[in-house]
Structure 1
């Protein structure tokens, strides 16, 4: 009991002495006074504190300086090997050009931009590994992917990590109108599919279409076909047969086309990558050199013409991209791209450059502590190579024009 009273008295004594009597804090039988402690150890003790504080300040300055010089990291993910590599290769080259031009101008706020490239191989497991590697590398944003199937796979991982992706070419409607971390500079499939259907309805003698499509990018091909069919049938047309190929099947294109041609049709619609479109055209022309053939936007690359040769003459395509555009920004980009890579950028190169400029512009204008997604949507409107890129609240865009082109003398020529 005495011990408890003694503790209470000591506490009362301490409370009375704070701010009034420094020695009162320590003038107990078993402790020395503060003054004695200071005189005996003060010079060393307080000198050490001063040195510690100075060291921490210096380290903080060095850390800030190093962080200010650390490059901005941007990821790029696309298929750069295999059958659909053309999209990814053109996209990669265009993004690299944009990054190099940015660094040549001094970077962003004096910091260089570093591009980290991942190949998704158009494989669902590999694209997850690729995106997770970019997230772990602490990238500011991911540019890509280039196909709709890959975008569907990675979006949940982007949302979980709050890492933004800006895709150059993905157009599936399944990602439209969603408040997520997936943005794109290419419109959803609705515009091109509807325009294509309406163009075919205006064409003489085309009322029944046979459709051949690839299953390797179903999020795109089946969505595009659904919209095309709805508009074409509403206008009085028919889809007489639908033939899907790929994804684990081992049929040759000769077998696929031979089986498809037994159906009744006025024209053939192909929804596939550029290589597959070209090979299918070769097989069709062997049976009927005059068959009307049209493509969805996905296959309409320079690779299609290169592989197709004479078999693709007269084929029509629909895109939001005009190769004959006289826009000065597009002409400058095309000149630099041709000088460096010795080939046309095509729509994947143009859209990838636009996506890179969106990311770089948003980084340059981002407020302190602001997420890059907020920065992009706050700016809202960006200058693209062929007109304005205007984002809605969900990161979806609309392009001002849609074009119909026809292959003539190994070139895409705009006819509408």
Structure 2
């Protein structure tokens, strides 16, 4: 009997050794990263480009070994149009046990989701949210992009340099949090330079205002330029109406609209439209050109500023988690990891966060020329 017990003990030990050996060689738990965007909303092109940037960043990182040997698993959630589905989309990402979320992509959604993220202590790494109210806050939103105020000031400077003194603007009240603040900050900055906002037309809210009526309201004040605050779909249609009614009048639009959908929908009407964008389209650095080549091969389109910022956000998160792991802090709060392990090399700019998770990105003038976005010399 003693011999049987001894043999049983050896079998148990051998079995344990096999199990431990299998565990040692079993795949590591993936790092789950969430994406939150409006993939079925009116301005879906912006979020689609961002999702593509994140997807490419994740795929390339996994090909390079992931995060310290752990594969990244991307969980995509569409919050739809408006705000009604935002809480459910956020909760779905929580239930998927993501370590952080890349997104959202509008100020309205950012303000809606922020209390949820703070309560859950879940990092939101947003490439694009720009609301002034989300800056300089000790919260769980870390922003890659500029604030509304910084963007509006850069547009005021650009239009002033181009000789404009009387600007009429149209703003999308479907995203009133963004558009209202943007127009107010632009008005203040443009006025300080000696210019004037001579007309303002609102669209995108009830009661509905047609694009033609909005443009006629703008033109009635006899401006020397038009400025559109809205997504690509709306800006394209506003530009078409403006081209019919005042073909020679210069136009500008917020960088929110600067994606492939604008040119596809707007056609010749958007030729000459100017923007201030946070990436250099004439960048010939090997790293940027490699990204552009990979993006075009993967998605069949040229990357926009939204795609680039989303790709940068993915790199920031992966680098932060990897650096924390190397420092022996693999379980560090992702927010702390991002804030304490920088700076980070983006595709075109070095990314440095302050203690609130805010950063500043340089902006460059861009023009639509021959159906393409090109760098505009200043």
Task: Name the TM-score, length of structure 1 as normaliser.
Answer: 0.82
- Is contact 1:122-1:150 (8 Å) kept? no
d(CA) in 2 for partners of 1:337, 1:412: 16
d(CA) in 2 for partners of 1:386, 1:375: 22
Match of 1:408 among 365, 369, 376: 369
d(CA) in 1 for partners of 2:149, 2:99: 30
1:392 aligns with 354
1:277 aligns with 235
Match of 2:122 among 147, 158, 163: 163
1:48-104 CA distances to partner (integer Å, 9 max, x unpaired)?
xx99x98xx889969976997221111001111232111111111111111111222
- Is contact 2:46-2:256 (8 Å) kept? no
Match of 1:175 among 118, 125, 134: 134
Match of 1:247 among 197, 205, 215: 205
Alignment map for 1:365-376 (pairs within 5 Å): 365-366=323-324, 367-376=329-338
1:8 aligns with none
Tell me, what secondary structure is at the counterpart of 1:398? coil
d(CA) in 1 for partners of 2:261, 2:186: 24
Alignment map for 1:2-401 (pairs within 5 Å): 69-204=28-163, 206-366=164-324, 367-399=329-361, 401=362
d(CA) in 2 for partners of 1:352, 1:219: 22
Tell me, what secondary structure is at the counterpart of 1:392? coil
d(CA) in 2 for partners of 1:58, 1:160: 43
How far apart are 1:319 and its partner, in Å? 1.5
How far apart are 1:354 and its partner, in Å? 0.4
d(CA) in 1 for partners of 2:189, 2:41: 34
Q: Per the alignment, do residues 139 and 66 of structure 1 end up closer, same or farther by CA in structure 2, a change over 3 Å counting? A: farther
Instruction: Point out the more displaced range, 109-118 or 321-330.
Output: 321-330
Point out where structure 2 has 5 or more consecutive residues left out of the alignment: none
d(CA) in 2 for partners of 1:62, 1:272: 57
Point out where structure 1 has 5 or more consecutive residues left out of the alignment: 1-42
1:86-132 CA distances to partner (integer Å, 9 max, x unpaired)?
11111111111111112222222222111110111132121211111
d(CA) in 2 for partners of 1:98, 1:199: 32
Instruction: Point out the more displaced range, 175-184 or 227-236.
Output: 227-236
1:15-35 CA distances to partner (integer Å, 9 max, x unpaired)?
xxxxxxxxxxxxxxxxxxxxx
Number of equivalent positions: 367
How far apart are 1:310 and its partner, in Å? 0.9
Aligned CA-pair RMSD: 2.5
Q: Per the alignment, do residues 142 and 292 of structure 1 end up closer, same or farther by CA in structure 2, a change over 3 Å counting? A: same
How far apart are 1:276 and its partner, in Å? 0.5
Tell me, what secondary structure is at the counterpart of 1:69? coil
1:204-238 CA distances to partner (integer Å, 9 max, x unpaired)?
3x211111000122222222222211111111111
Aligned structure 1 segments of 4 or more residues deviating by more than 6 angstroms: 57-60
d(CA) in 1 for partners of 2:97, 2:24: 19
- Is contact 1:380-1:392 (8 Å) kept? no
Tell me, what secondary structure is at the counterpart of 1:124? coil
d(CA) in 2 for partners of 1:146, 1:405: 21
Greater RCO (Cα-Cα under 8 Å, separation 6 or more): 2
